[in-house]
Amino acid sequence: MTHLKEGDKAPLFTGLDQDGNKVSLKELKGQKVILYFYPEDMTPTCTTQACNLRDNHAILKKNGFTIIGVSPDTAARHKKFESTYKLPFTLITDEDHSIINMYGVWGEKSMYGRTYMGLHRTTFVISEKGTITKVILKPKSKAHAEEIMA
C-alpha cells in the first residue's frame, strides 16, 4: 500500500503522544525506531499487536529500538489503551492523518464485501540515520516483535 520502501529516508514528523508531549522523529535521530501504524485502540487485533510489542519490549529495547505506535485515535483514547494494557511505549495521535498520509498507509480496504477507506496496518523499521531498513506490510499481530527482529 505504502509508496515508501527500504532504503528511503523516513519522512520527518512531529506529533503529540498520549500525554500531550511533542514527539519528533528528527529528535530520535541516532536511535533505531519501530514506527508502527495501527487502525484503532482497544480492538482485538490492535490489542494483540500492542501486547506482543509490550511483552517483547525489553528485548527490543536491549537491541536499541524505540517503539512508536500511530493511529487516528485521540490522546485520551491512547492514554486509556496505554493504561489498560500497561504499554511501555509512545502512542502518537494522528487525528488529521498528517503522519498517516506522509507514510502512505491510508487507503481503500474491504471487509465482508464492503469497501471503505481505512488505515493499513504497517510497520517501518528506521535506522539511526533515519533510513527505512524494513517495511512490514500486514504484520503478524501475535508475532510482530519476532518479525521485526528477523
Report yes or no on 99 lying in a domain.
yes
Domain membership flag for residue 138: yes
Buried residues in 58-72 as b, exposed as e (16+ CB within 10 A): eebeeeebbbbbbbb
Domains held by the chain: number: 1
Min mean pLDDT across 5-9, 15-19, 80-84, 113-117 is at 113-117
Query: Which grid cell is 65?
Result: 529500538
- Specify the pLDDT at position 98: 97
- DSSP for 114-129 reads EEEEEEPPEEEEE-TT
Q: Which runs of consecutive H residues, i.e. helices, occur in the chain? A: 44-55, 57-62, 75-85, 98-102, 144-149
Active site residue 46: yes
Cell 499487536, residue located:
49
Q: What's the chain's average pLDDT?
A: 95
> Residue 137 pLDDT more than 90?
yes
Read off the pLDDT of each residue in 62-68 and give the average, rounded to a whole number. 97
| pTM for this prediction | 0.95
Which domain covers residue 126, as residue numbers? 14-149
Span of 36-45, 72-81, 107-116, 130-139 with lowest mean pLDDT: 107-116
pLDDT (tens digit, 9 = 90+) per residue, 12-29?
A: 999 999 999 999 999 999
- Amino acid present at 129: K
Q: Which member of 46, 99, 100, 145 is catalytic?
A: 46
Does residue 1 sit within a domain? Answer: no
Residue range 69-75: mean pLDDT, rounded: 97
Tell whether 61 is covered by a domain: yes
- Banded model confidence at residue 2, pLDDT cuts 50, 70, 90: confident
